[in-house]
Structure 1
Amino acid sequence: MSHGCTRQRRRTAVLLLLAATTLAAAFASLLVGALPIAPAKVWSILADGAGDLAERTTILDLRLPRTLLGLLVGASLGVGGAALQGLFRNPLADPTLVGVSSGAALATVTAIVLGDVAVAALPALAPWIAGRWFIMLFAFGGAMAAALCVLGLGRGMATSMLLAGIGINALSMAVVGLLVFASNDRQLRDITFWTMGSIGGAGWPTIAAVAPVVLLALLLILPCARGLDALTLGEREAGHLGVPVQRLGLTVVAGVALAVGASVSVSGIIGFVGLVVPHLVRLCAGPDHRTVLAGSALLGAALMVAADCIARTIVAPAELPVGVVTAFIGTPVFLWLIRRKRSDA
């Protein structure tokens, strides 16, 4: 009994620490930028709108939506990676490696290129195609198709799942290459944005479009924690315990596709967040998916906001793609995790 209480206290402490880290990263993101603003002024602007026009505009119209978008994207990728690793029972599964991100990116690039063709053929479609939901629907469809392919080809076989993900990645990027070849200069700039990853295009309309989708995805994924715990024993054993394995898989796939599709539609492909974050949470709090899923959402959000702070300051006044920063952060951590696991073995 005391051992169970100790584990529960440890999980609670880890989640509280991650929540505090996320809040600290978010507040630091409001401070970072070309215009230095003191922490007290930032707080007063958020609380009652005090400060001069330039400071209010910088915080409320530029940094705050960018910070919120970073939190949403990071939480989506973190919880998506944790859910896929639990579903496939494979520590290498994440939205990028198993093709979900590339499927969403392919659909997004297709929408960018073919959207102009559709507008030229039917000008009445222009207002709808120009809206954020058009891109998001395409991205969700691509993510869902890729996830279902991997789930169908790799169910119960980790190697097959990874090979299917590699194949989907390769095919998706090959088609993206063809679309790049067929695109014009404006489309090429947009495609470059998606493939390198950035949250520089954040704004309140973007937040309004993405936030409900991400929240819906979290509502689908987080209740799956107990089923994912049972699935670690194997599909047959989980079924004997009363877990509806097929429905669980479809729910997780739909939730991950929603989260990743929405994220990719506004940020492009950002790697390593969904791969590394769940491992770090398990290292600190254990394998219980109630903690792993929630903790991965918090740590992913904090990591994304921190990476964005680095991306927009390290080469100021220019800006690095945030996907480059997450790769530089994630690769050493991932290699360290591999070395640690081999040492433990």
Structure 2
Amino acid sequence: MIVFGVTLFGPVSLSVAAFVGALGALLLVYGTARTGGRITSSRLVLSGVAVAAILTAVLDLLLLTTDRGNETRAVLAWTLGGLGGVAWGTLWLPGLALLIGIGVLAAQARNLNLLLAGEEAATTMGLDVARFRARLFVVVSLVTGVLVAAAGPIGFVGLMTPHIVRLFVGGDHRRVLPTAALGGAVFLVWADIAARTVAAPMEIPVGVLTALCGGPFFLWLMRRDARRGTDRGVA
């Protein structure tokens, strides 16, 4: 959309395209991971990594084959993630998508709590896990696509915040969801402030800063889960 200057839907063209792209990628990952009517976490992760690699290669090829310098720089700046390009005039759409997403997830807090006990336990308690997961995937694609269209792919905020929040409020999604939304917003604001001041007058893309924070946290999280698994095995 940026490279070819497509504005079919006016000022929300990028948001519409981002939602369609996110939903398409989701369906591709979902279909690839589904085997025998079931989806495991490991297949879902591997399918996501494979699809992400393919789409990244397509993006790189698009940037290499275009001769329009301004559009190429705009795409590169967008892929790094940042709040500099967000305007008040277009903020209503990400805000609306976020409110809808939080509202839908909050209404499904009980079913999300059932999933904490495992898919089999949730099924025995009357939850259609496959259909419920598919509905949530669509909602998440809507919110993610619109927000990424506005600010670019600012990674690791959604990975770190819920885990940190659970340390303080527990695992009940009725408390986790609103606290994680507020905590993620606070973290992003402070990350943006740091990105603007650490190397002033140059501004570091906030997506780079969140990745520097989120990468080590992700590694620590994996090591912690591995140690817990070992401890449970010994026990």
Deviation at 1:205, TM superposition (A): 0.9
Q: Structure 1 residues 317, 142: CA separation in 2 closer, same or farther (over 3 Å shift)?
A: same
Deviation at 1:251, TM superposition (A): 2.4
Residue pairs, 1:125-144, within 5 angstroms = 128=8, 131-144=10-23
Q: Counterpart of 2:30 in structure 1: which amino acid?
A: L
Deviation at 1:115, TM superposition (A): 3.2
Whether 2:82 is the aligned partner of 1:182: answer no
The equivalent residue for 1:199 is 83
Q: Counterpart of 2:17 in structure 1: which amino acid?
A: F
Deviation at 1:342, TM superposition (A): 4.4
C-alpha distance in 1 between matches for 2:42 and 2:225: 19
Deviation at 1:343, TM superposition (A): 4.7
Indicate conservation of the 8 Å contact 1:194/1:264, yes or no. no
Q: SS at the partner of 2:108?
A: helix
C-alpha distance in 2 between matches for 1:286 and 1:147: 29
Partner residue of 2:199 out of 315, 335, 339: 315
The equivalent residue for 1:145 is 24
The equivalent residue for 1:156 is 39
- Residues 227-247 of structure 1 show CA distances to partners (whole Å, capped at 9, x for unaligned) of 121123333432332223344
- TM value normalised by structure 1: 0.60
Partner residue of 2:128 out of 230, 244, 247: 244
Structure 1 runs (4+) deviating above 4 angstroms are none
Q: Counterpart of 2:117 in structure 1: which amino acid?
A: L
Deviation at 1:306, TM superposition (A): 0.7
Indicate conservation of the 8 Å contact 1:156/1:235, yes or no. no
Deviation at 1:213, TM superposition (A): 1.7
Indicate conservation of the 8 Å contact 1:281/1:295, yes or no. yes
- Residues 67-115 of structure 1 show CA distances to partners (whole Å, capped at 9, x for unaligned) of xxxxxxxxxxxxxxxxxxxxxxxxxxxxxxxxxxxxxxxxxxxx22233
Deviation at 1:331, TM superposition (A): 2.3
Indicate conservation of the 8 Å contact 2:97/2:143, yes or no. yes
Indicate conservation of the 8 Å contact 1:220/1:251, yes or no. no
C-alpha distance in 2 between matches for 1:229 and 1:272: 23
- TM value normalised by structure 2: 0.86
Q: Structure 1 residues 294, 150: CA separation in 2 closer, same or farther (over 3 Å shift)?
A: farther
Indicate conservation of the 8 Å contact 1:139/1:262, yes or no. yes
Whether 2:144 is the aligned partner of 1:254: answer no
C-alpha distance in 2 between matches for 1:233 and 1:141: 33
C-alpha distance in 2 between matches for 1:255 and 1:206: 20
The equivalent residue for 1:208 is 92
The equivalent residue for 1:31 is none
Indicate conservation of the 8 Å contact 2:102/2:177, yes or no. no
Deviation at 1:149, TM superposition (A): 2.8
Indicate conservation of the 8 Å contact 1:146/1:168, yes or no. yes
> Larger RCO: Structure 1 or Structure 2 (Cα < 8 Å, ≥ 6 residues apart)?
1
Q: Structure 1 residues 288, 149: CA separation in 2 closer, same or farther (over 3 Å shift)?
A: farther
Max Rg structure: 1
Q: Which moved more, 1:308-317 or 1:211-220?
A: 211-220
Q: SS at the partner of 2:183?
A: helix
Indicate conservation of the 8 Å contact 1:226/1:289, yes or no. yes
Deviation at 1:147, TM superposition (A): 2.1
Deviation at 1:304, TM superposition (A): 0.6
List gaps (5 residues or longer) in structure 1: 1-110, 117-125
* Aligned CA-pair RMSD: 2.0
Deviation at 1:268, TM superposition (A): 1.0
C-alpha distance in 1 between matches for 2:134 and 2:95: 22
The equivalent residue for 1:273 is 157
Q: Aligned residues, how many?
A: 224
Indicate conservation of the 8 Å contact 2:102/2:178, yes or no. no
Deviation at 1:283, TM superposition (A): 2.1
Q: Structure 1 residues 287, 156: CA separation in 2 closer, same or farther (over 3 Å shift)?
A: farther
List gaps (5 residues or longer) in structure 2: none
The equivalent residue for 1:329 is 213
Whether 2:24 is the aligned partner of 1:114: answer no
C-alpha distance in 2 between matches for 1:242 and 1:343: 33
Whether 2:51 is the aligned partner of 1:168: answer yes
The equivalent residue for 1:282 is 166
Indicate conservation of the 8 Å contact 2:83/2:206, yes or no. yes
Q: Structure 1 residues 238, 341: CA separation in 2 closer, same or farther (over 3 Å shift)?
A: closer
